Chains A and B, each alone.
Chain A
Amino acid sequence: MSLYAYLVAGWLLLAGFFGVVRSRDLVHTAVCVSVAQSGTYVLLLGIGFQRGAGAPVFAPGIPTTSPVVDPVVQAMALTDIVVSATVTALLLAIAVQIAKRHGTVDPDELHALRG
């Protein structure tokens, strides 16, 4: 069962991609990109996990020698979340512009580029 967390990460990535490919709405596409990206959170936190270890925060009363999970991948997951949020914001802003200019948010109905 040691592969389970990694397989969940891979499944999230592919499920997100599947949603992007089958999307009929640009807002749905942006959400699917977020789902695909969330696979990386699971992968990073899965790699950093250690059974029986605590959070990498030494509150008063916790000895600094006690085992903790990997803080480096947690910091990377934080970076990842920030990037995901900014990408989603930009994609939604672009979707608003497309809805205004083309009158549709269905990617299949967007045939030509228009200035």
Chain B
Amino acid sequence: MSRGVRTLIFLAGAAGLGMLLVLAFLRCPPFGGDWHPYRDMAVPAALAHVTPNVVSSVNFDQRGLDTLGEETILLGSVLGATVLLRPGRHETRREPQDVGRVLQVTRLGGYVMLPLALTLGLDVVIHGHLTPGGGFQGGVVLATGLHLTYVAGSYPALRRLRPVSWYEYAEALGAGTFSVLGVVGLVTSAALLANFLPLGQFQQLFSSGTVLALSVATGCEVAAGVVVLLAAFLEQTIMIDSSRERAG
């Protein structure tokens, strides 16, 4: 199919979809209004479980099962990407050389920002039930913060800091802890992922029961998963020599 024909078919379909969307939007609740029935149920439920961050309460308490599914999607995708990016039959690994020039100021910036980024990531994970944040956001901050060592110009240093097999175990540990906490909730309270831990005082660090525990487990899994994923892509670019395959 030529590009012109394809574009014409797309324009016809887009016009139809666009019209349907506008018709649907016309019947949506008006933008910025005060009619939010889900909000009116989710906020009291979060306050009943002593969780100031209602979004975390929705994610790790009220809709815990959905988050378990979400975590499994992440696990599956990391697994799939790692399998797709494994070295092929005609490819050889080569030791990376520390080539290329990095500005001194970039190097300094990278190493100064590294501890700050890691601290910020831990803070976002651990206070996920009190302030904006949580396991997913903090996990991504942790994983990308670790890669500041690569930005600072040293792939060998990143590899020393990041034995990938450890992160594979950490990812499995995080996902496993989440499931085990869910099953414990099922045994003690007759509901999967029920909030069975003591709820504590409002706005204290150790409060809101399983929300904190599940957030930390998720942070562990997400940080490790993103590190493994980026490691697969980086290795593909830096360490795989596929020149023979291209020639053959």
Contacts and interface: CB of A to CB of B under 8 A. Distances in A.
23 contacts: A5-B31, A13-B17, A14-B14, A14-B18, A17-B10, A18-B14, A22-B7, A48-B36, A49-B32, A53-B34, A57-B55, A57-B130, A70-B36, A70-B42, A71-B46, A72-B42, A74-B55, A74-B58, A75-B55, A89-B77, A90-B77, A90-B81, A93-B232
A6 interface: yes
Interface string B67-99: 100100110111011001100100000000000
A83 B39 contact: no
A82 interface: yes
A10 B22 contact: yes
Given A6-B31, A21-B7, A89 B81 contact: yes
B6 interface: yes
B246 A93 contact: no
Contact of A69 (B30, B39, B74, B130): B39
A87 B233 CA distance: 15
A55 B53 CA distance: 9
Contacts of A55: 132
Interface in B40-63: 42-43, 46-47, 52-55, 57-59, 63
A57 B136 CA distance: 17
Interface string B174-210: 0000000000000000000000000000010000000
Interface string B10-45: 100010011001100110111111101011001100
Nearest to B1: A108
A21 B67 CA distance: 33
A90 B66 CA distance: 21
Nearest to A14: B14
A30 to B, nearest CB: 12
B6 to A, nearest CB: 6
A71 B55 contact: yes
A69 to B, nearest CB: 7
Contacts of A5: 31
Given A14-B14, A64-B47, A92-B233, A47 B54 contact: no
Interface of A: 1-7, 10, 13-14, 17-18, 21-22, 46-51, 53, 55-60, 64, 67-75, 78-79, 81-83, 86-87, 89-90, 92-94, 96-97, 100, 103, 108
Nearest to B230: A89
Interface of B: 3, 6-7, 10, 14, 17-18, 21-22, 25-26, 28-34, 36, 38-39, 42-43, 46-47, 52-55, 57-59, 63, 66-67, 70, 73-74, 76-78, 80-81, 84-85, 88, 130-132, 134, 136-137, 203, 229, 232-233, 236, 242, 245-246
Given A10-B18, A56-B53, A57-B52, A2 B81 contact: no
Contacts of B245: 100
B229 A89 contact: yes
A67 B46 contact: no
Given A14-B17, A69-B36, 12 more contacts: A2-B31, A6-B28, A14-B18, A48-B36, A48-B39, A51-B32, A55-B132, A79-B66, A86-B74, A89-B229, A92-B81, A94-B84
B39 A72 contact: yes
B70 A50 contact: no
